[in-house]
A and B are shown apart, each in its own frame.
Chain A
Amino acid sequence: GENVEQHPSTLSVQEGDSAVIKCTYSDSASNYFPWYKQELGKGPQLIIDIRSNVGEKKDQRIAVTLNKTAKHFSLHITETQPEDSAVYFCAARAMDSNYQLIWGAGTKLIIKP
């Protein structure tokens, strides 16, 4: 079945700098890759997603890139702000598991003032 690995587990960046979080997946048939943001004491919330027929997608300061050949996808946050501090999860939709999402372990992003 699908397996998703996420790195790093913790990322600390200076306010205004960029942050990059990377995920790899194992099932080449997976075709949908969302990113969720979880703030302290809250449930995860979708921030951006990408489908396997697209290489890159942007939404203001957030972008996601997908390399199907290497089976990895990344979240890029530019001009980081204090409110970007949170835990970020990547996921892949597993084609052999009734379309369930398989989740990465999460990255705690810390924005230093």
Chain B
Amino acid sequence: EDQVTQSPEALRLQEGESSSLNCSYTVSGLRGLFWYRQDPGKGPEFLFTLYSAGEEKEKERLKATLTKKESFLHITAPKPEDSATYLCAVQAWNRDDKIIFGKGTRLHILP
């Protein structure tokens, strides 16, 4: 069964303290892995799509990487406005376009 597990569930950092969020996945043939940011009461905002192991993408203070079993979202020198829930999702080949989400990591950046 396709599965996505995110860790930690919650993370508190001081402003400027870099860290990484983890997304472990089990799928039979990865078509794409996605990262989203979600603010309270809002819909998820798309950040990145990664397609193959070794791929990396960056946006401002965020950098996403992908291996054959997991993805990391690295946050460099975070600011309070980076506080949000970060969601990881995967789509597998031959799964009729289903996108499966992890439970997310709640990130809180203290000023």
A binds B: no
